[in-house]
Amino acid sequence: MVRVRFAPSPTGFLHIGSARTAIFNWLYARHMGGKFLLRIEDTDLKRSETRFLEEILDDLRWLGLDWDEEPIFQSRRFDVYREKAGGLLATGKAYKEGEAILFRVEPGRTIEVHDMVHGTISFQTDTIKDQVLVKSDGSPAYNFSCVVDDSHLGITHILRGDDHVSNTPKQILFYEALGLTPPKFGHMPLILGRDGAKLSKRHGGVSVLEYQAEGFLPEALANYLILLGWTPKDGREIMPLAEAVREFEITAMNDVQAKFDIQKLRWMNSEYIMAAPSGTLLPLIKAQLRDAGLDISGRDDTYISRVLELYRVRIKTLREFTGMADFFFKDDYALEEEGKKYVETEGGRASLEAFASRLEALEDFGHDALEKACRELAEEKGVKPAVLIHPARVAVSGKTKGAGLFEMMEVLGKEVVLKRIRSVTHG
């Protein structure tokens, strides 16, 4: 049975690159009917924090990943590492240097690794110095503890980033010295920015938590990260996790570096937003509104859902909703500078006054009736409907762009619309 692992370090939040590694390991395990395990690399006792671990586990769950068996913690296995190093010391394969234990690397050897992504990779042991097994403070070295734990967990395949390629021959030497069969290795090319430089914050290389706060949906983020390393046979771009599990083939993974495109991710997120049920989006939108400092205590879910339906086709992230639709939840909005020209002229105010009078007479305040009233008034005045629409939009929303004016007015309601128009016309 396939057994793979993801090994987060609780010294910080889950980075987007690490999330991709976790997703591919999970995908492979689920596709093969195997096990996906967690190993917590918390040997750095000073920097490891429970809050980071809890957030990492929450982020994995948020992305739709689950794991089999209880995670193991390296901080609880120091005795095991020291025992294994002691065994190598006793057979002469390692030696002491002060309190540290080092492994003797045999020179003149060629180590070949049949990488699942890159094919055969060769290493010369002449380029590898003797390796630390246990440090002078009693803590294990990274490569040694990885081998001991992966053997303990029965890991059959290790899928990780290219930045670990140089660790692979060292780990193979430890497997051999301990009399163990090495797992199969696969190294994924790293994610770069669009400009080909190392991924950084300016490219969108931030933590999963930040994407969540920004209003990206987990399905969209997971989908996008999958495409940074693998492409389905049919070239599809929208592929939820369940479908990816069915289609995934590790042999089809890309062996060239992937470029992170935040605009592509935003587009993909908008596709998932448009397709998501209102019931899924509603609690997320309410959280965004609260985070933006908007009081929604007097707004029922029906009202918020109606506003959401006006904007779901216009937003790329859920956070954008609050900036576009804030006027639905407060009256003290500012008028955009660009829009003031529509309402601060004598002609603009006159158009608004006439439109308000026509609106006040309406019994039906639905968008069809509102549009009809607008067009009839424009025709009577011999002007284009835009002469009425532009100042009305600015008056009721403070903005020059957004959802359809009549749909907005219908949701706001007759009383609010008239109040807002007249507050502008009467200064």
- DSSP summary character for residue 167: G
**Of residues 103, 11, 94, the one with CA closest to residue 50:** 11
Q: For the CA atoms of the chain, what is the radius of gyration?
A: 30
| 358 neighbors 371 (Cβ within 8 angstroms) | no
For 333, phi and psi rounded to 5 degrees?
-90, 150
Cα distance between residue 309 and residue 403, in whole Å = 10
Active site residue 341: no
Cα distance between residue 204 and residue 194, in whole Å = 10
Helical pair 301-311 and 405-412, crossing angle rounded to 10 deg: 170
Q: Give one DSSP letter per residue of 252-275, joined into a string.
A: GB--S-EEE-HHHHHHHHHHHHHH
* The token pair that represents 194 in the structure block: 């669009």
Residues 6+ apart with CB under 8 A from 292: 322, 326
Catalytic annotation, pick one of 129, 198, 201, 341: 201
Residue with tokens 């060629």: 110
* The token pair that represents 348 in the structure block: 């603009």
Beta-carbon count within 10 A of 128 CB: 18
DSSP E strand stretches across 189-302: 191-193, 258-260
Cα distance between residue 15 and residue 367, in whole Å = 46
Cα distance between residue 266 and residue 183, in whole Å = 37
Catalytically active residues are: 201
